[in-house]
Amino acid sequence: MRASAVPARAAPSFRDRPRSDDVAAIRRIVESTGFFRPDEVAVAVELVEERLARGIEASGYHFVFADDDEGAVGYACFGPIPCSLVSWDLYWIAVEDAARGRGLGRELLGRAEAAMRAQGGRAIYIETSSKPQYDATRAFYLACGYRLEHVFADFYAPGDGKAVYSKRL
């Protein structure tokens, strides 16, 4: 007797406009990583809600979503840094746990970088935790050409520093 095969997920498609169903999708994606506290998940959700309510110009939040046959499975959120003419922040990048290992994070980051460049961006800044749980995240940024600029010890909490990365476009 043969075991039934798990159906493969569809190749992803990408889009830059959030939809109302992305509120629940972002919550699901971010929670699935197991990295974030409930208040951090709420912030991720709040950014897409603000974009949906206020639009791109008023909110300043830009997105790239990766969708498969089941909906959004990853996303990046980024925006221009206030009072800078050329610098951008990458606020969030997350891929649903079940969709990891397919290159979606690298594709989302590349598409976000291209969007920033198209808007005149010349530098990108990323902040992440220094906790060991984030070792793979920090290695990902380095592998994508980012440089560690500084680690602020105990920034988020005792034993949880903020690592700041940058990349010139």
pLDDT tens by residue, 43-55 = 999 999 999 999 9
pLDDT at res. 8: 59
Q: What is the pLDDT of residues 86-121, one digit of tens each?
A: 999 999 999 999 999 899 999 999 999 999 999 999
Mean pLDDT of 125-135: 97
Q: How confident is the model at residue 6 (pLDDT cuts 50, 70, 90)?
A: very low
Q: Which CATH superfamily is domain 13-121 in?
A: Gcn5-related N-acetyltransferase (GNAT) (3.40.630.30)
User: Does 5 score more than 70 pLDDT?
Assistant: no
Mean pLDDT of 80-91: 97
Percent of the chain with pLDDT over 70: 94
| Structure-token pair, residue 75 | 């996303």
pLDDT at res. 106: 97
Q: What is the pLDDT of residues 22-40, one digit of tens each?
A: 999 999 999 999 999 999 9
SS (H, E, C) 119-164: CCCCEEEEEEECCHHHHHHHHHHHHCCCEEEEEEEEEEECCEEEEE
- Residue span(s) of the chain under CATH 3.40.630.30 come to 13-121
User: Does 73 score more than 50 pLDDT?
Assistant: yes
Burial (CB < 10 A; 0-12, 13-18, 19+), residue 61, is buried
pLDDT at res. 70: 84
Mean pLDDT of 139-155: 98
Q: How much is the pTM?
A: 0.91
Q: How confident is the model at residue 9 (pLDDT cuts 50, 70, 90)?
A: low
